[in-house]
Chains A and B, each alone.
Chain A
Amino acid sequence: MAIYINEHTNVLIQGITGNQGTFHARQMVKYGTRIVAGVSPGKGGKDVDGIPVYDTVAAAAEEHRLDASILFIPAPFAKDAAFEAIAAGIKVLVMLPEHIPVHDAMAIMAYAKSNGTVVVGPNTFGLVSSGKCKIGIMPNQFFIPGDIGVVSRSGTLCYEIVGNLTAAGYGTSTVVGLGGDRVVGLNFIEVLAEMEKDAGTKAIVMVGEIGGSAEEEAAAFIKGHIKKPVIAYLAGKSAPPGKRMGHAGAIIERGKGTFEGKVQALNAAGVPVAELPFQVPELVAAALKK
C-alpha cells in the first residue's frame, strides 16, 4: 500500500531536457518510477534515454495516460508550466523549484483546487512510495520499503531523519516533502489523513520546523482524527526571533511559530517530540511497543 503514488503511476517530466531534468529522469528510472514522457517546448520529437519528449503537455497527454508530473522549470516560468499540467488534467503535480513568487504559488493552488489536482511543493524534494515510485530528487539508497510514513517541511533534514530510521532498521511506506515555502500545496493534515487510512503505514513521523502554524494545526487535527502513533521532530529550537532561517516560513514573527509553542501543542495531542534527529528512531520504537 502507498499513498498518492504507487507502482502503476505514470509520470511526466516537464523540463526533461535540462541538466537537472535529465539527471533526475535517470535517477527516477533507476529507482523504478514509470517515467512515460517528457516535455520541453521546442524539443518535441526528441528523446531522453528512450523517454519521448513533447512540445506541450497536451501533446504528451494525447499519447500517454499521465497520472503525475514533476517540474524541473526555473521559478519565473513555473506558474505557466504548473497551469499547463493542471489544465491537461494531471492529478498529482510535484513542484521542485524554489524562489517561486508567493502570488504565483497562490494562483497555482487556487487553480489546482478547482481542478482537483494535488500539488506537492513548491520548494520540495518531492515524494516517494518506497520501492514503488519516486517523484523527486532524493538520494535513492535511503528510501527502502517499510511501514513508517514520513512527512516533512524540509528536504535534507528529511533525508537525515529517514537515514536515521534506515540505520535503525526502519523502512518507509511513503515519504512526502511538503516544501519549505510559505504557500505550498499538500499540508501536514492532508498527508496525516491519508497515512491514517493507508494499510501500509504503522507509524507516522512528522518533520517540522519553527515558523508558521502548520505544526499547531496538525496537532489539533491529530487529537481528533489520527489513531496511529505520530512522532515529531522539530528544527530551529536555537533560532533567534526575527531572523529568517532560509525557508520562507522559518521565522519567528511577533512571538508566533516558536519551538516551545509547537512542542506544547504536539505534546498535548499525545505526540512525543524529538529535539535532535538521532532521537527519532528511539521514539518510534517506544511508540510501536505501546
Chain B
Amino acid sequence: MKLFEYMGKELFARYGIPVPEGGVAATAAEAAEIAGKIGSVVVKSQILSGKRGKAGGIGFTEDPQEAAELASRMLGSELRGFTVDKVLVEQKLKIDREFYLALTVDGAARKPVILASAFGGMDIEDVPEEHMVRMHLDVTIGLQPFVAREVVRRLGVTGDVARQISAILSGLYKMFVELDAELVEINPLVISGDKVIAADAKVTIDDDALFRHKDLPVVEERTEAEKKAHELGLSYVELDGDIAVMANGAGITMATLDLIQYYGGKPANFLDAGGGAGVEPTAKALELLLSKNPKAILINIFGGITRCDDVANAFAYVKQNIGIPVPVVIRLVGTNEDKGREILRENGIEAYKFMHEAAAKAVEIATGGRN
C-alpha cells in the first residue's frame, strides 16, 4: 500500500525525521489559510506517483491568494492518471544541496538495503552507479551506528550534517521495521543552511503485513472491479483488451496473457483465481469478468489443489442462473478432469486439453477470425 506524501511526512515527524512546516488542504480556502501562516510556500498535488513537478503538479508562491489559486487549479484535476483530492502546502526550502536516502527490500540478497546518494533530486534514476551508496543490513543486528557512519563517509559529508543524516537514517530504519514498510524513500533530502530536511516522502507498506497495522490510514489505489476481486480473494488487474481471462496461479495467468498476445489478441485483464478456489469464488470471478463486457472469455485451469469439477460447476451455475452472453473457451486439465469435462459437455462446452489451442480459439472469436 502506497501512502500519500503528506501521510509519509506525518510518519517521518513521528520518527524524528525533520520535515518542512506545513499542512494538507482539500479546498482552496484551506490552502490559503495554511499559506498565510507560513509565507513563502510550495503547493504540491497529492497523488500516488512521482514526477509531479514535470507534470505541473507543483507550484511556488509567497501570496496566500495565489496559493489558493494554485490549489483550486490542482484540486480535482487529473495528473499522471490520478485525480488530485488534496494538496500539501508547506514552507518553501532554501536548497543548498539535494541528497537521496532510502531503505528497501533487496529480494536477491534477502536483506534490507540502504540506498543513498549525494546526487538526489529529480533524475535519481539516471545517477550513475558509482554515485549510489548501497549497503545491505543484517536484520539480526539491525542498523548499528557503524553502518550510519559508513554511509555518511561514502556520501562524503562530515560534521553536523553527517550527524543529522545519521540520525535521519536511524529514524528511517526504525520506521521501516516497525511499520513493515517495503520502501521508505526521501528524495530529495535537502541541506538547507545548517539543517537537513526531508522535502519529500515516499512510503510503501507491505500489503501482507497490514493485518498488524490497523492504525495506519487506508489508501485505495485499486479500481472498483479490482477492489471487488480483492475482497473475493482474487488477484485481479485491469488491462485494456477485449478477451477476459481467468486462470489459477499467477505464473500460468501471465503465460495465458502471453499466448493471447502471441496469437494476435488483447487480454482485458489478469485474473488469478488462486489455488483451491471452490465453486462459489469461481462463479463470482466469472461474474466479475462478465461485468466488463468482453468479446470472449478464456478460462485456463491446470488443477492441482483446484478441482476441475468445481470450476465446471461454477461455470454451469453462472450460465444457468445469470446467463453468459459471450463465447467462453475453456482449457481444463488436472484433478477431477473427467468429471469437469462431463459437466461442461452437459452445458454445451467441449474443453481443450492444451492452453495454446484454447488461447488461439479465444483470439479467433474476439477478432472475428481476422488473425
Contacts and interface: CB of A to CB of B under 8 A. Distances in A.
Interface of A: 20, 75-76, 99-107, 109-111, 114, 125, 137-139, 152-160, 163, 180, 182-185, 187, 207, 209-210, 212-214, 217, 235-240, 243-247, 249-250, 254, 275-278
Q: How large is the interface on B (under 10, 10 to 19, 20 to 34, 35 or more residues)?
A: 35 or more
Contacts of A101: 180, 206, 208-209, 212
Contacts of B211: 76
A213 B31 CA distance: 44
Contact of B251 (A209, A214, A240): A209
A221 to B, nearest CB: 12
Closest 9 pairs (CB-CB, A-B): A154-B251, A246-B250, A156-B249, A157-B251, A101-B209, A238-B261, A235-B254, A156-B252, A182-B107
Contact of B303 (A103, A139, A158, A185): A139
Contacts of B250: 154, 180, 209, 245-247, 250
Contacts of A239: 254, 257, 270
Which of A101, A153, A250, A254: most chain B Cβ within 10 A?
A101
Given A110-B139, A111-B140, A139-B303, A278 B177 contact: no
Contact of B235 (A100, A106, A159, A246): A246
B105 A102 contact: yes
B254 A155 contact: no
Given A20-B276, A212-B107, 13 more contacts: A102-B209, A103-B206, A106-B105, A139-B335, A156-B249, A160-B355, A209-B250, A209-B254, A214-B107, A237-B258, A239-B257, A246-B235, A276-B259
A246 B260 contact: no
B194 interface: no
A138 B254 CA distance: 19
Given A156-B275, A159-B304, A249 B258 contact: no
Nearest to B249: A156
B108 interface: yes
B356 interface: yes
Contacts of B182: 102, 182
B82 interface: no
A109 B254 CA distance: 28
19 contacts: A110-B110, A137-B304, A156-B248, A156-B302, A157-B255, A158-B251, A180-B251, A182-B107, A217-B108, A236-B257, A237-B258, A238-B258, A239-B257, A239-B270, A246-B249, A246-B254, A249-B107, A275-B258, A278-B354
Contacts of B354: 278
Contacts of B275: 137, 155-156
Interface in B138-186: 138-140, 177, 180, 182
Contacts of B333: 163
Interface string B199-240: 000000010110110000000000000000000000101010
Interface of B: 105, 107-108, 110-112, 125, 138-140, 177, 180, 182, 206, 208-209, 211-212, 235, 237, 239, 247-255, 257-262, 267, 270, 272, 275-276, 302-305, 333-335, 354-356
Contact of B257 (A213, A238, A244): A238
B252 A139 contact: no
A130 B352 CA distance: 27
Contacts of A240: 239
Contacts of B237: 243-245
Contacts of B208: 75, 99-102
B177 to A, nearest CB: 6
- Binding site secondary structure of chain A: loop
A153 B180 contact: no
Given A238-B267, A276-B258, A276-B259, A246 B111 contact: no
B356 A278 contact: yes
A105 B305 CA distance: 24
A102 B176 CA distance: 11
Contacts of B259: 276
Nearest to B107: A182
Contact of A159 (B108, B110, B334): B334
Contacts of B258: 235-238, 275-276
Contacts of A158: 251
Contacts of A276: 255, 258-259, 262, 356
A27 to B, nearest CB: 10
A212 B249 contact: no
B206 A155 contact: no
B177 A103 contact: yes
A182 B270 CA distance: 20
A125 B304 contact: yes
Contacts of A153: 251
B107 A157 contact: no
Given A156-B251, A160-B255, A240-B239, A246 B270 contact: yes
Contacts of A99: 208
Contacts of A152: 251
A99 B145 CA distance: 32
A244 B237 CA distance: 8
Contact of B254 (A105, A139, A250): A250
Contacts of B239: 240, 243
B270 A254 contact: no
A93 to B, nearest CB: 14
A178 B256 CA distance: 21
A105 B138 CA distance: 13
Which of A110, A217, A254: most chain B Cβ within 10 A?
A110
A157 B110 CA distance: 24
